[in-house]
Amino acid sequence: YLKFRELPAGQNAIVAILCYSGYNQEDSVIMNQSSIDRGLFRSLFYRAYHDQEKRIGMNVVEQFEKPFRSDTLKLKHGTYDKLDDDGIVAPGVRISGEDIIIGKTAPLPPDAEELGQRTKSHTKRDASTPLRSTENGIVDQVLITTNAEGLRFVKVRMRTTKIPQIGDKFASRHGQKGTIGITYRQEDMPFTREGVVPDLIINPHAIPSRMTIAHLIECQLSKVASLIGKEGDATPFTDVTVDSVSSRLRDMGYQSRGFEVMYHGHTGRKLVA
């Protein structure tokens, strides 16, 4: 019903509903740093930069090229070293804040005096496109084409890997949203008697007042589904009941409502429920 096969959104994680250390108060969550290091909730962010050669007057045209200080005025602060000879950065190059990714110059009219900076050798003005100062990443794709006037048009797509950190927001499929309050390494996280360590810990106080009962049913069914190695359907359009899921859990040797005895990651002592 949710079509997660065709259009997946998010990942299935091992979730504990538990008070642990107090860093998951007020809708924050505790996340397993070791899981993050293994790639949990890692995502790719793409941003496209584009520019085109514009016509100035009748026959004067801007040009994509690598600007040089000897003949170009008003160069920007960022480095021009990552540009190829055609003035455009190559795919696969690592770039960071304010690096120039599209080099472009505009010709100066012969009679123009640019704030007195100009000498006889200066014939062009810089019109390049820098990367945003807060971003860094890798050039993913470069596209060069021409527009209707026959002038060149460039599109550069940048790729950044986003890794979860404190303050990032996550949500379940039931609108239970929260930010990361702290990340613990696997050895500092609580564990079950089987040695299962959760990927994230949410606070039990998020459940009663919001009455997201379907959230708990989905958690219970997902535990059964992962144990038997099949997909579960927790939508209300099937004849799955809480009692039927509970009996399946009990048959497999677990507590019928999905409770687990857990042990403190720091002390190794049993947690009191």
Domains and CATH numbers, the chain: 15-41+164-263 (2.40.270.10), 44-162 (2.40.50.150)
At position 150, the amino acid (one-letter code) is G
Number of neighbouring beta carbons within 10 Å of residue 238: 10
> Catalytic annotation on 27?
yes
At residue 192's C-alpha, the angle toward residues 259 and 229, to 5°, is 75
Model pLDDT for residues 95-136, shown as the tens digit of each residue: 998 889 999 888 877 665 555 555 667 778 888 889 998 889
Amino acid letter at 7? L
pLDDT, tens digit (0-9, with 9 covering 90-100), for 144-162: 999 888 888 999 999 999 9
User: What separation in angstroms does the CA of 254 have from each of 18, 226, 227, 235, 261?
Assistant: 18, 13, 11, 23, 10
3-state SS assignment for residue 45: strand
Q: How many CA atoms lie within 13 A of 182 on its CB side?
A: 12
Cα end-to-end distance, the chain, whole Å:
36
- Full-prediction pTM beyond 0.85? no
Angle at 160 between CA 159 and CA 165, to 5 degrees: 160
Say which of 27, 86, 126, 140 is annotated catalytic.
Answer: 27
Q: Which pLDDT tens digit goes with each residue over 35-76?
A: 999 999 999 999 999 998 888 777 778 888 888 877 778 888
Q: Are 76 and 130 contacting, i.e. CB atoms less than 8 angstroms apart?
A: yes
Which pair of tokens denotes residue 77? 């602060």
Q: How far apart are CA 108 and CA 116, in angstroms?
A: 13
Q: What is the rounded CA–CA span in Å between residue 68 and residue 87?
A: 11
